[in-house]
């Protein structure tokens, strides 16, 4: 047993020295993880509050009330009051996506019970954006009509929310992205650590050494887990302090991320043993993270995306990781499975991936 521990310590030392010899790789891997956070944040900003030029040619209380309804309309518009000439320039320059013009006499006409036509010019670059505006305007108009109890309105929607608060979109997305960050950082470093041994042909020496190979492997991976956990915790702190996300359970979040790093380091080792080249491994993980981000419940609970995507989501540990992280940070339950079940799945993944990494290494021809 003491031999095993000695080998484990030696493996850790070896990997730490390799990290210290090439710190740029660690820095770039962390930058890659932060890039992922930036990417999803930018996507999150596109989902709501359409930048809208508002041209107000009427100054009545009813106009003010309508403008307020537009501003509060389910995060639909980011209103930018301006003149028609400037609005047209901004629309042409692509800095607003639509122009709403409240015509002169709006308030008087509405007060008199007449129907006013509201000119809307949309830069219909794609149907998704156009649809959002086409839904948002009737919603604001409905709020306006109900608020002023206009005659002839016979029905209204009544909303019951399951949760007492809505979680904002970017904070939701970045928490999911932390799970994917663990995949990118730990997976890439774990894979590079193992592929490096193949590339430098040092793996044969592992076999020649009297030390147990499992000890060397575990020691190496422990060093990777420590470095990647620290890197992912940096990303988590950026989310907590930079994005202003207040976690329900900060310790639980950091622990969940550490568990993710164990799993993804081991999976990285598997990939490194299979590819045996350092050049593509980090990019493989970045490439995998992109589609996995969607198929893990990162934008919304995965179950909402239909049976097939939900089914395939279970094929990787990211699905359960996102479930646990959304619970520890936002207190949300985003998987039909309970949190203990998600945690159990993650633990099984950790054990399974470690075992596979070891088996692949032991069965490799170069090591025999």
Which structure tokens are listed for 243? 């994005």
**Residues 126 to 145: which contact other proteins by CB under 8 A?**
126-132, 134-139, 141-145
To which residue do tokens 């609970």 refer?
301
* Among the listed residues 287, 338, 348, 363, the single contact to other proteins using CB under 8 A: 287
Where does this chain touch other proteins (CB under 8 A) — which range of 232-240, 241-249, 254-262, 289-297?
A: 289-297
> Residues 52, 55, 58, 60: is their CA dihedral positive or negative?
positive
- Residue 210 CB, nearest distance to other proteins (Å)? 31
* Among the listed residues 198, 293, 319, 349, the single contact to other proteins using CB under 8 A: 293
Give the closest residue to 82 by CA, choosing from 60, 55, 100. Answer: 55
CA 350 to chain centroid: 22
- Residue 56 CB, nearest distance to other proteins (Å)? 14
Question: Does 18 interact with other proteins (rule: CB under 8 A)?
Answer: no
β-strand pairing of 50-56 with 98-102: parallel
To which residue do tokens 């992205």 refer?
177
Residue number, 20 or 208, with CB nearest to other proteins: 20
**Residues 217 to 256: which contact other proteins by CB under 8 A?**
none
Residue number, 167 or 211, with CB nearest to other proteins: 167
Question: Does 49 interact with other proteins (rule: CB under 8 A)?
Answer: yes
Question: Does 58 interact with other proteins (rule: CB under 8 A)?
Answer: no
Sheet containing 50-56: give its strands across. 77-81, 50-56, 98-102
Question: Does 105 interact with other proteins (rule: CB under 8 A)?
Answer: no
Give the closest residue to 335 by CA, choosing from 346, 349, 348. Answer: 346
d(CA 189, CA 226): 11
* Among the listed residues 108, 168, 274, 339, the single contact to other proteins using CB under 8 A: 168
**Residues 170 to 189: which contact other proteins by CB under 8 A?**
172
Question: Does 108 interact with other proteins (rule: CB under 8 A)?
Answer: no
Question: Does 208 interact with other proteins (rule: CB under 8 A)?
Answer: no
Segment 251-254 long-range contacts (CB within 8 Å, at least 24 positions apart): 252/328, 253/178, 253/325, 253/328, 253/329
Residue number, 95 or 362, with CB nearest to other proteins: 95
């Amino acid at each position: 047993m003491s031999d095993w521990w000695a080998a484990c310590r030696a493996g850790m030392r070896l990997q730490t020295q390799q990290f210290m010899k090439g710190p740029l790789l660690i820095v770039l891997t962390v930058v890659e993880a932060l890039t992922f956070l930036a990417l999803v944040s930018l996507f999150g900003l596109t989902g709501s509050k359409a930048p809208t030029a508002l041209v107000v040619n009427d100054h009545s209380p009813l106009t003010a009330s309508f403008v307020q309804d537009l501003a509060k309309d389910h995060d639909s518009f980011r209103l930018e009051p301006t003149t028609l000439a400037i609005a047209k320039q901004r629309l042409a320059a692509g800095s607003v996506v639509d122009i709403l013009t409240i015509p002169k006499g709006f308030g008087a006409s509405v007060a008199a019970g007449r129907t006013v036509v509201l000119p809307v010019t949309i830069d219909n670059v794609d149907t998704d954006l156009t649809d959002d505006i086409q839904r948002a305007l009737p919603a604001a108009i409905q709020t306006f009509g109900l608020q002023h109890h206009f005659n002839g309105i016979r029905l209204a929607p009544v909303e019951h929310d399951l949760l007492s608060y809505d979680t904002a979109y970017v904070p939701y997305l970045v928490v999911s992205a932390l799970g994917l960050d663990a995949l990118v950082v730990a997976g890439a470093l774990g894979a590079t650590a193992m592929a490096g041994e193949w590339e430098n042909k040092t793996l044969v020496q592992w076999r020649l050494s009297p030390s147990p190979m499992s000890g060397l492997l575990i020691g190496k991976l422990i060093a990777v887990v420590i470095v990647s956990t620290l890197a992912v915790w940096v990303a988590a702190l950026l989310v907590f302090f930079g994005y202003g996300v207040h976690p329900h359970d900060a310790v639980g979040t950091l622990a969940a991320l550490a568990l993710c790093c164990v799993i993804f380091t081991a999976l990285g080792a598997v990939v490194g043993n299979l590819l045996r080249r350092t050049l593509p491994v980090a990019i493989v993980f970045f490439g995998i993270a992109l589609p996995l981000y969607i198929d893990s419940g990162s934008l919304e609970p995965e179950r909402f995306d239909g049976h097939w995507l939900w089914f395939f989501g279970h094929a990787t540990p990211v699905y359960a990781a996102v479930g646990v992280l959304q619970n520890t940070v936002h207190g949300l339950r985003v998987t039909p499975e309970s949190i203990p079940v998600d945690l159990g799945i993650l633990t099984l993944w950790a054990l399974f991936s470690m075992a596979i990494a070891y088996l692949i290494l032991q069965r490799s021809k170069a090591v025999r």
